[in-house]
Structure 1
Amino acid sequence: MQIKKSIILRFGFLYLGVAVLAVAILGKALYLRVVEGDRWEEVVEEHNNKDIVIDANRGDILATDFRKLACSVPTYRIHMDMRAHGLIDEVFNANVDSLSYLLSRFYGDRSERTFRSGLKKARADGKRYYMVHPRRISFTDLKKLKQFPLFRLGANKGGFIPKKYENRKLPFGELAARTVGSLYAEKDLGGRFGLEMAYNNSLKGLAGISTRTRVSGNWVVEEQIEPIDGLDIVTTIDIGLQDVAESALLHQLKQYQADHGCAVLMEVATGKIRAIANLGRTPSGKYIEKYNYAIGEATEPGSTFKLASLIVALEDGVVQLSDSIETGKGFCYFHDRKMTDSHPGGYGTLSVREVFEKSSNIGISKIIFDNYRDDARRYVNRLYDMNLKDPLGIEIKGEGMPMIKYPGEKTWSGVTLPWMSIGYELQQTPLQILSFYNAIANNGKMVTPMFVEAIQHHGEVIEEKQTEVINPSICSLETIEKVHELLVGVVENGTARNIRSKRYQIAGKTGTAQIAKGTTGYKGEGGKKHQASFVGYFPADRPMYSCIVVVNEPTKKGYYGNVVAGSVFKEISDRVYAQSFEHDDVKTEYEVELGKHQPYSKGGKKEELLAVLDEVGVMVQGQEVEAEWISTSAREHDISLKSKSFPSGIVPNVKGMGAKDAVSILENMGLKVIINGVGRVKQQSMTAGQNYRKGSTIYLKMS
């Protein structure tokens, strides 16, 4: 027993000694890195300066209008080569005093005497890479220092060596920060996430090399390979729309004290992402772009998935929109599990159309369960055919994997089918759900979301990105037309009546899902958690944009998708619609196809346009329209006219209009107009879609 205690004691001392040694080594490493890092960097440079790597300038990440979303701002740390070939004693001694004086005034934290003493000692020691001061300075300050004594003589005669450091900046702060991305602290590692990571090879450029050889005891430049600057990435992000999306989302997250949320705006035809906001709450209660929820967070979507279930049933012909479904008193059982509707007392008998508009869980689940319980594979295969089990394959890393169970898997149970039909026991990311709805707006064509439009070098386009088609037709056009009617009905007659617009129609679907929390299920700590969502497209008669808004874990005032998420959607769509000048002047690819249509004409005053069109012999359809201002649509044999309205209290978009028309519209709305230049309106000082006070002044820049 005594021997055992002795052995244990010895091992204890041994382990203690190893632990103390490990702590000492770690402490020394930290000390060398943090405290003496600059000094050892100087030593490394001094002994490894035969081949000097010349860093390339990293390319910029640009918005669609070429404003910078991410750019490199260089800073510099000043060093001196005290053994530079041309730095002779006479030159050094004649200039060291005045240099020390100017350095003291420039940096402000050391005396002239301190600088002079350091410089002379470095000269006596023959330092090859003496750090004049640890502070990094801007390019503007660097230009000032280049005029100082000795420094103005350059590297060979004055020993002047400015070391460049790249600092990555986001000029617009948090706007789309998770999508734009960031860099690792160690620059050689490149991008950490987002577009910085996805396009790291294009952005980083190619480093150059300065090769030096020793001649008569001095290093002389023998060969230099110039660095090649990185390429610029032109994104699809519209800064104005991004700001609208982020502001609307932030307001709602604060109001409902939600944990996090996201909002994405996509162009229907191209898949270009015009705005993507991802905001999460920090422990201090502030909301920041801390994770790309739209791309990376796969959850049970809830009611927004009901569209997919109904498409399956319509494609297979097992229901018609006019069929009746008995939903009873608001609850029913599938085996031993109870399903409920949100409406107290139930809806009773509903048509299939009403089932969707009112988002009846019982109605949708009965349609799927009654028609597919004997062949669940047929239902799931239809979902698979619509690419709902496949990732989108976007360039940004970290996409959440979609999950749709298949009959026969271990997790498939007797209640999987009815619950899957209403958006549970499966997972989708917000961007995946949006892409599915975008396909409905795009007549069945599913496209890959685009984040980059082009890659360029010093303004010259190197590569132009094209829209990629995932599935040319997720279902028949007949079914597309039917579900389009249903989605419009949700906003006009159903659960999203609160976001109806008098100016344009919205098509979409609300979603309110309970959130499962690991092993605690749907009733975790603090009670049930919810995810509110709304996804759709607008204007419904000619879809141009699709949008999804998801708000997770709202804790105050409510959690239903129509209010919590739908209100954000409405604010975004209102601003986008107003900025596009009612969308009537937007040319479609079909309208401008050469040789098939009449000449394209912008809208304007009806009387003046009719006179011009009559003069050039163009047939006109819609002359009976009673309106002062009209829009035009070029067709194969004629030009169609529609009335154009300008809602009071909201600034219209007059970009592209002539001065006469723009001034007439704006002054009639009570605004004072100041014009700069001639031609058509290129810029307007007040953003289209914003509210204004009568008597306010708007500035128009013409081109």
Structure 2
Amino acid sequence: MEVKKDILWRVYLCFIGMGLFGVAILVKIFLVQNIEGNYWRSMADSLHTRYVSLEADRGTIYSEEGRMLSTSIPYFNLRVDFAADGLREKNGKRFTDNVDSLALCLSQLFKDHTQKEYKNILREGYQRKDRYFLLKRDVLFVQYQAVRNFPMFRLGKNKGGLIAETKNKRINPFKLLANRTIGLSRENAQNVGLERTYDNFLKGVTGKRLMRRIAGGTFVPVEGYDIEPENGRDIITTIDVNMQDIAETALMNMMVSNEAQHGTCILMEVKTGKIKAIANLGRQPDGSYWEDMNYALQVGEPGSTFKLATVIAALDDQYVSMNDQVNLNEGRLQIGKRTVFDSEPHPGQTNVSIKHAFELSSNVGMAQLAMRCYAKKPNEFVAHLRKLNLDKATGIDLVGEGKPVIKSTKSKTWSATSLPWMSFGYEVLVSPLQTCMLYNAVANNGKMMKPYLVNSIMEYGQPVKDYDPEVVMDSICSQNTLRQVKAMLEGVVTNGTGRALWTPYYKLAGKTGTALVANGKDGYKEKIYQSSFAGYFPANDPQFTCVVVIKNKANAVKFYGGAVAGPVFREVADKLYAIALEKQRPMRAAVAIDTLLAFKTGQGREWKTILNTLDLPMQGAVGNSNWVSPRVNGKKITFAAVKQAKGGVPDVTGMGLKDALYLLENAGMRVIVRGAGKVTNQSIPGGSLLERNQTIVIELS
């Protein structure tokens, strides 16, 4: 008996436990369905859906005259939903009826597979019921337009199954022109140029698209859940495509002929600081040239173009005038253990004016000048260089500008020869753009402008941000100093190292430069020279400043600044001067009447309006109410009255259709019109007896 009770107790206990467990399950089901349901449903959704980014259309970069320099064009990835209801209804009759012709069209358009191969590809996707079947990548817009009209696909998404994924590709329509300055927008690498500087404006705001996972782990878009992207804004640059082409072509011609390593040509508008052109060419392994780096922003030893800063300092500190004498020592000067050489010896020339020493680009003359004025106080010379902003980057709207170096007596590398060597452009580091900024200040009557590349930011054709010219310094020196350095720069072309650039048609001003460049560990052994020319034109009314810097190959036969960089400067100046001259050229004869104008007989008041509006020369008077016929008499228009007889058929010869119909229909006539233009013939002559409801035929030509 005790055993039976013990067994029953255990059975009841198990039954009660199972009952409680069942109740607990029911309670949990209730909680999950009614209280925790939203949470778990969202968890389930998150495992089967996800958001993907929708890239905004990147803004376009334009030249100043409105031509595209960098823009985005759409490319498409074509996919097919082979499980679309409309495509599979009636046992896939729509697919079966169209697959042959669709395969043929795809084969003829893309030419990458035969019709049979495309048919097999389409059948494979259909048999798998693939809802996101990849048909073709990177399809051009014109190809996509054609595909949309192909058999089956033209029936729409539900019946045809076509899905197009859009993506944008960045292109520079002008290829080489200012390529490095405009920059590159790359998916997996850092942008450069203006594409990088103004990326926040250009890229817009990214959107989102909800994607749902289907069989096979593929994600397809969920319609109605897109957050549309905001397109990027456009950039209007200061670049002029024609000027850029001139600068690029001139630089390229010299680079190719001299087999140079790399070079740059900068063109700046004097009054504003706008960069109108900036060419940067580097030699590639195959011998071609491409815009591979922005050499205009790289710092280096400038050579003799730096002598402008030296003479500005000495003249402005009032230690000398341009007519004071300096000893050239026949082109050779020993300073401590180092020797200063001129690029060309000057036998028999000792004492010459500072102006002529500058014109001859004498290193010895500049070293003598610096030692005379600043030997006991070199930091005063350094201070003046820094006053000219040569120790600061220009601040142009491009990332990657090099850091200039103007050292002082506190610098670790300062030595007894630093001062004289700095005077002719060694032991200092500045960029070609800094040189351009300094020369432009001289051209601009002493006012230094900040160089810039962007005029405005545009959104839907309206400016949202404008960039105006910015003055860095109102005056870099006194007017007396400015007058002297202008004379010296003009003298380089008329009586110095730039004589070959002289032209009788307009004045040039500038400075040649030839610097021996160190080549890594080999130092100066390979005799690599950097040729440069910096100047402005026309000298009597400067419009543009131009700086050309070219690094030549080792042991180049031609390497002087006047022979390598100078011709590039001259070619740019000649072409821009010719363009300006053509625009300003007055007409050789007085304005004549264009006799091809369609002069028609009409009412006097209408002709008076035309004459006043177009300001045409006229002889005689025109009444308001009479009908007149115009004629060209020499260089003026004369008018003859056209009288209409009362009770007679109106004379509409020479009139336009509007006036002819007005007169004839008001006279009660039925009008038949043949041709277009003005009336050349009417079937009933003007002045004939008018009969009511009479029909008249008018011929126009």
Do they superpose with TM above 0.5?
Answer: yes
Q: Describe the shift of the 1:219–1:424 C-alpha distance in structure 2 as closer, same or farther (beyond 3 A).
A: closer
In structure 1, the residue corresponding to 2:536 is in which secondary structure?
strand
Structure 1 position 604, deviation (Å)? 5.2
Matched with 1:617 is none
Q: Single out whichever of 74-83 and 396-405 deviates more from structure 2.
A: 74-83
Structure 1 position 48, deviation (Å)? 7.4
CA separation in 2, counterparts of 1:470 and 1:606?
46
Structure 1 position 219, deviation (Å)? 7.1
Residue 359 in 1 paired to residue 361 in 2? yes
Structure 1 position 213, deviation (Å)? 7.3
CA separation in 2, counterparts of 1:494 and 1:218?
74
CA separation in 2, counterparts of 1:92 and 1:392?
69
CA contact (8 A) 2:304 2:361 kept: yes
CA separation in 1, counterparts of 2:172 and 2:268?
23
CA contact (8 A) 1:79 1:129 kept: yes
Q: Single out whichever of 563-572 and 329-338 deviates more from structure 2.
A: 329-338
Structure 1 position 434, deviation (Å)? 0.6
Selected match of 2:370 from 368, 371, 381: 368
Matched with 1:338 is 339
Structure 1 position 96, deviation (Å)? 4.2
Structure 1 position 557, deviation (Å)? 3.4
Matched with 1:139 is 141
Structure 1 position 512, deviation (Å)? 0.6
Matches within 5 A, 1:651-690: none
CA separation in 2, counterparts of 1:432 and 1:532?
16
CA contact (8 A) 2:57 2:72 kept: yes
Residue 501 in 1 paired to residue 503 in 2? yes
Structure 1 position 424, deviation (Å)? 0.2
Structure 1 position 159, deviation (Å)? 2.8
CA separation in 2, counterparts of 1:131 and 1:48?
21
Q: Single out whichever of 451-460 and 372-381 deviates more from structure 2.
A: 451-460
Structure 1 position 247, deviation (Å)? 1.2
- For residues 41-66 of structure 1, the C-alpha deviation after alignment (integer angstroms, 9 at most, x for no partner) is xxxxxx97653433322222211221
Q: Describe the shift of the 1:387–1:109 C-alpha distance in structure 2 as closer, same or farther (beyond 3 A).
A: closer
Matched with 2:200 is 201
Matched with 2:615 is none
In structure 2, the residue corresponding to 1:450 is in which secondary structure?
coil
Matched with 1:542 is 541
In structure 2, the residue corresponding to 1:58 is in which secondary structure?
coil
Matched with 2:186 is 184
Matches within 5 A, 1:497-646: 497-523=499-525, 527-554=526-553, 555-581=555-581, 585=584, 603=586
Residue 62 in 1 paired to residue 65 in 2? no
Structure 2: which amino acid aligns with 1:122?
G
Structure 1 position 484, deviation (Å)? 0.9
Matched with 2:596 is none
Q: Describe the shift of the 1:153–1:387 C-alpha distance in structure 2 as closer, same or farther (beyond 3 A).
A: same
CA separation in 1, counterparts of 2:91 and 2:171?
40
Matches within 5 A, 1:65-144: 65-84=65-84, 87-90=87-90, 92-107=92-107, 108-133=111-136, 135-144=137-146
CA separation in 2, counterparts of 1:391 and 1:452?
18
Q: Describe the shift of the 1:218–1:183 C-alpha distance in structure 2 as closer, same or farther (beyond 3 A).
A: closer
Matched with 2:682 is none
In structure 1, the residue corresponding to 2:53 is in which secondary structure?
strand
**Structure 2: gaps spanning 5 or more residues:** 1-46, 592-634, 636-701
Matched with 1:441 is 443
CA separation in 1, counterparts of 2:269 and 2:557?
32
Residue 302 in 1 paired to residue 303 in 2? yes
- For residues 239-284 of structure 1, the C-alpha deviation after alignment (integer angstroms, 9 at most, x for no partner) is 1111111111111112222111111111011111111111111122
How many residue pairs match? The answer is 538
CA contact (8 A) 2:88 2:94 kept: no
In structure 2, the residue corresponding to 1:192 is in which secondary structure?
coil
Matches within 5 A, 1:116-265: 116-133=119-136, 135-186=137-188, 192-211=191-210, 220-265=222-267
- For residues 76-95 of structure 1, the C-alpha deviation after alignment (integer angstroms, 9 at most, x for no partner) is 12102334466553384323
Matched with 2:606 is none
- For residues 192-229 of structure 1, the C-alpha deviation after alignment (integer angstroms, 9 at most, x for no partner) is 211111112211222333346799x9975233322222
CA separation in 1, counterparts of 2:497 and 2:273?
27
Selected match of 1:410 from 409, 412, 422: 412
CA separation in 1, counterparts of 2:444 and 2:290?
33
Q: Describe the shift of the 1:411–1:96 C-alpha distance in structure 2 as closer, same or farther (beyond 3 A).
A: farther
Structure 1: which amino acid aligns with 2:268?
M
Q: Describe the shift of the 1:220–1:250 C-alpha distance in structure 2 as closer, same or farther (beyond 3 A).
A: closer
CA separation in 1, counterparts of 2:114 and 2:326?
88
CA contact (8 A) 2:48 2:212 kept: no
CA separation in 2, counterparts of 1:541 and 1:319?
25
Selected match of 1:391 from 375, 390, 393: 393
What is the TM-score when the length of structure 1 is the normalising length? 0.72
Structure 1: which amino acid aligns with 2:316?
E
CA separation in 2, counterparts of 1:219 and 1:606?
69
Q: Single out whichever of 278-287 and 303-312 deviates more from structure 2.
A: 278-287
CA contact (8 A) 1:513 1:530 kept: yes
CA contact (8 A) 1:300 1:424 kept: yes
Q: Describe the shift of the 1:304–1:91 C-alpha distance in structure 2 as closer, same or farther (beyond 3 A).
A: farther
In structure 2, the residue corresponding to 1:274 is in which secondary structure?
strand
Between structure 1 and structure 2, the one with the greater Rg is 2
Selected match of 1:280 from 279, 282, 291: 282
Structure 1 position 606, deviation (Å)? 10
Percent identity for Structure 1 against Structure 2:
40
Q: Describe the shift of the 1:604–1:112 C-alpha distance in structure 2 as closer, same or farther (beyond 3 A).
A: closer
CA contact (8 A) 2:281 2:292 kept: yes
Structure 2: which amino acid aligns with 1:491?
V
Structure 1 position 100, deviation (Å)? 4.5
Q: Describe the shift of the 1:100–1:204 C-alpha distance in structure 2 as closer, same or farther (beyond 3 A).
A: farther
Q: Describe the shift of the 1:52–1:80 C-alpha distance in structure 2 as closer, same or farther (beyond 3 A).
A: farther
CA contact (8 A) 1:72 1:166 kept: yes
CA contact (8 A) 2:52 2:208 kept: yes
Structure 1 position 459, deviation (Å)? 2.4
In structure 2, the residue corresponding to 1:225 is in which secondary structure?
coil
CA contact (8 A) 1:231 1:457 kept: yes
Structure 1 position 111, deviation (Å)? 4.6
What is the TM-score when the length of structure 2 is the normalising length? 0.72
In structure 1, the residue corresponding to 2:226 is in which secondary structure?
strand
CA separation in 2, counterparts of 1:308 and 1:119?
73
Q: Describe the shift of the 1:91–1:149 C-alpha distance in structure 2 as closer, same or farther (beyond 3 A).
A: farther
Structure 1: which amino acid aligns with 2:579?
Q
CA contact (8 A) 1:78 1:132 kept: yes
Structure 1: which amino acid aligns with 2:378?
A
Structure 1: which amino acid aligns with 2:543?
M
Structure 1 position 505, deviation (Å)? 0.4
In structure 1, the residue corresponding to 2:299 is in which secondary structure?
coil
Structure 2: which amino acid aligns with 1:429?
S
CA separation in 2, counterparts of 1:110 and 1:558?
55
CA separation in 1, counterparts of 2:572 and 2:417?
38
Structure 1 position 573, deviation (Å)? 0.2
Structure 1 position 572, deviation (Å)? 0.4
CA separation in 1, counterparts of 2:267 and 2:222?
57
Structure 2: which amino acid aligns with 1:161?
I
Structure 1 position 173, deviation (Å)? 1.7
CA separation in 1, counterparts of 2:306 and 2:425?
5
CA separation in 2, counterparts of 1:441 and 1:228?
44
CA separation in 1, counterparts of 2:54 and 2:65?
31
CA separation in 2, counterparts of 1:580 and 1:571?
14
Residue 324 in 1 paired to residue 325 in 2? yes
Q: Single out whichever of 564-573 and 109-118 deviates more from structure 2.
A: 109-118
CA contact (8 A) 2:358 2:366 kept: yes
CA separation in 2, counterparts of 1:212 and 1:163?
13
CA separation in 2, counterparts of 1:540 and 1:403?
30
Q: Single out whichever of 374-383 and 252-261 deviates more from structure 2.
A: 252-261
